[in-house]
Chain A
């Protein structure tokens, strides 16, 4: 009988240990999160750039929660949510709750060398009020790299057209610049008033030619492209540059970053 009790004891303790392990695993995997109350916010995006359910949410770069749910919106919403098509429910845990203010911004960002997507929340300014839990926020769409590229192709095409059309002018420009350089050389050797006058004339000519060149860049669409490039570079700055560079250059792995 005592032996039977011993067996029962061992079996029971194994059951307890296993349940404990299972609990620890589900906690580690983020299925359950006891002991921490979290706030949830609804963030609206037009384009979510590949975020998945369970993707991390970070405040100031520190993981504080995850994307709980992703829903498609089927009807048009009023201002300021016009044009949005997905609703992401994100959770933020206790420690970071107080940093999410009304003027916080919700970016979709990329981290690591395989391009894991996450939601970055910038901490709001001290002056603004706390964001009320389960309130609705307009997220900032990540740059559409596909659109950016197609626009970029357009701009490059136009630049090419411009170059082809004004080939003679450009040649002239180059020869003028060339002579400008020689003249400068001369000038440095012997400062001659007469030559300096001629130089100023040449400079005038150069600047008028540049005016013609830069007119091509002034169109609004090109303007937008340049802005987006700035935005992209700003974001890319946060990615680990060394790893990315090595990863791309040495391995040639076509990681689907975007």
Chain B
């Protein structure tokens, strides 16, 4: 029993440390390959396309609904506290920029991109394609990890921006339909509380989440073992661990950026 607990603890540390180790290696390799112009441009474009462009519809759809919910809930709460909803756009925008847009985008990216990265790399591992890459003396970090990293960071940042724009459009529509706002009046009150720092913080969060997803997923995929069962487990682990790390990172970033 005790032995088992030690093993679980060890695995937990391993889960935390392996992505960081891979991150360090990738940083080194990235710098090295930028210096030597050895980036796999086509792979990077492919990954950007896969993770950003193909996730666009689903993220826009989800964020439309999330922002709809968030503005309605906000007006409900504001009516409870202040007996009026004059400040709703300002407040909901702040929460959107700081919290909801980066986190929900990252969660959706985790399920779409993270799971497919882990499944793909796991499949390559299981079918011994990784060994073939080694035989061709192609570095797996250079060829597989870095393009995914670039693609995912790109996706996270662009999609966060896109979802912010979506949420603005949706909440303007809702507010002018249900809450007696004129669209231009709504726009004016939108940025009352939002500071440039909030936007910067939101994008920093997006960057961090976009970095967490590929590294956790790549570690899960590359350490996959045992046929199709292993591939499934790798994909599951990728989703769970990325989500957990995103929530942790979100907590620490929120605390560090805004509480001080």
Is A11 engaged at the interface, CB distance under 8 Å to the other chain?
yes
CB distance from A165 to the nearest CB of B (A): 48
Q: Could you tell me which residues of chain A, from 206 to 252, have a CB within 8 Å of some CB in chain B?
A: 243, 246-247, 250-251
The answer for the CA separation of A31 and B191 in the assembled complex, in Å, is 12
CB distance from A246 to the nearest CB of B (A): 7
Contacting chain A: which of B12-20, B41-49, B103-111?
B41-49
Residues of B close to A11: CB separation below 8 A: 45, 48-49, 52-53
CB distance from B53 to the nearest CB of A (A): 4
Do A29 and B158 have beta carbons less than 8 Å apart? no
Which residues from chain B sit less than 8 Å from chain A, CB to CB? Answer: 42, 45-46, 48-49, 52-53, 56, 81-84, 86-87, 154, 157-158, 161-162, 164-165, 190-192, 194-196, 199
What does DSSP make chain A's interface, helix, strand, loop or mixed?
helix
Residues of A close to B87: CB separation below 8 A: 114
The answer for the CA separation of A246 and B86 in the assembled complex, in Å, is 14
Contact with B along A14-32 (1 / 0, CB 8 A): 1101100110111011110
Asked, given contacts A11-B48, A14-B53, whether A29 binds B83 with beta carbons under 8 Å apart, the answer is: no
Do A251 and B82 have beta carbons less than 8 Å apart? yes
Beta-carbon nearest neighbor of B157 in chain A: A18
Which residues from chain A sit less than 8 Å from chain B, CB to CB? Answer: 4, 7-8, 10-11, 14-15, 17-18, 21-22, 24-26, 28-31, 54, 113-114, 116, 243, 246-247, 250-251
The answer for the CA separation of A186 and B160 in the assembled complex, in Å, is 85
Residues of A close to B158: CB separation below 8 A: 14-15, 17-18
Residues of B close to A8: CB separation below 8 A: 45
Asked, given contacts A11-B52, A21-B164, whether A4 binds B196 with beta carbons under 8 Å apart, the answer is: no
Residues of A close to B82: CB separation below 8 A: 113, 247, 251
Asked, given contacts A4-B42, A29-B194, whether A22 binds B52 with beta carbons under 8 Å apart, the answer is: no
7 A-B residue pairs with Cβ-Cβ distance under 8 Å, sorted by A, are: A7-B45, A7-B46, A15-B154, A17-B162, A18-B162, A29-B196, A113-B82
